[in-house]
Amino acid sequence: MMKLSILVSFYALATPVAAFMAPQAKTAPTSTALFAEANGGSKKVIVLGGDGFCGWPTSLHLSDAGHDVVVVDNLSRRNIDTELGCDSLTPIQPPEVRIQAWKEVSGKEMKFVNLDVAKEYDLLVQLIKEEKPDAIVHFAEQRAAPYSMKNSKAKRYTVDNNVGGSNNLCCAVIDAEVDAHIVHLGTMGVYGYGTSGGEIPEGYIDVTLPGGRESNILHPAYPGSVYHATKCLDALLWQFYQKNDQLRITDLHQGIVWGTNTPQTALDERLINRFDYDGDYGTVLNRFLMQAAMDVPLTVYGTGGQTRAFIHITDTARCIELAISNPPAPGDRVEIFNQVAETRRVRDIAELVASMTGVDVNFIPNPRQEAAENELDVSNRKFCNLGLDPITLDTGLFDEVTEIVKKYKSRCNPTKILPASFWNKKRAEECATIDPSSITIKEKAEA
């Protein structure tokens, strides 16, 4: 068994950190463009949820690599910003402005379609018929575990939107009679975060059934939130529609994403990716880096003994393209990849950030119903065998996030930093002492 901890060169794309800091002139074709050409050339790709944190940089990455990209989104995440009273720290532009900016910078065109995958089924079928995509990337799901636990309304919305959208997508591909490869962004959370007792394989696990019969089955699900439960339900839908209708499907169990910009989003400020820092949508490492840059004590939930898998946003986009370029053959079972770079314990990450910045670390009551401590050993051999050289948690790359935070710190609402969603009544009672108004932003003296 191998403990996942991959050491790589400073930056797997051989791109200097400065590339993430300022716009660049258009250069020669990227390595991903050459890879796509070697693996069937340009593909027509529909990216569902293409306006979001993972969807937008992936859309640009695929376009930059020579693929014909159609961005589809109902802008629900922007509407949730309004609901929560908390905008992206970075000033993200409307989709039409983003698309035009990309055309000006790259010379490449992308189409934007405002469509609700979970509610506008007929329009989805029509779109697939008209575009005849080679692949459909499915990001169009409510992606935050804390938001999915906020209240009954959020729980019901998460189930209706996520599971209904995934089912609609499968039905639409069948009704459109288009042989499109579905690439779904799942989560490592489908496996659960208990102590597994060994390395978690990629999707399927060898078991011995009663009577000594050996089999290879879908790894048991152990969700820790309504959001994670929807990803488990998605996984069962993929299994059914592959078996029943021979759909070609790849499910990517992704770790926690960190970072903000990619080489493409850094080309023009109008292309900048969203940055969430609030207690519902802010991912843990990005929250820590934001808090440190603003001299706000890091908020570690519980003991900080939770071990999680991590991946940089650039690698998210690269993994999606690797999946698109390596589809399962017709009739093959659902392909499953663990889309992670490494695993780290939360308190260790907090200590790393604190040692770099001198900021304090605060341990606060845990709003989540989860094990206080857990181990996490994960296999990611499939993507590595396809050529992924993953970016690991490197302090040099932290600078990119820190610079973004410093630039846009005036947009931060400090009352949104602490957790505001609680898994159950007991957790809410234990967190009753958490005071959102206690967070204040200090002006750091420049060195």
Catalytic residues: 187, 227, 231
Would you say the C-alpha torsion 398, 401, 405, 411 has a positive or negative sign? negative
Determine the distance from the C-alpha atom of residue 296 to the mean position of all C-alpha atoms in its chain, rounded to a whole number. 25
Q: Which structure tokens are listed for 194?
A: 């208990």
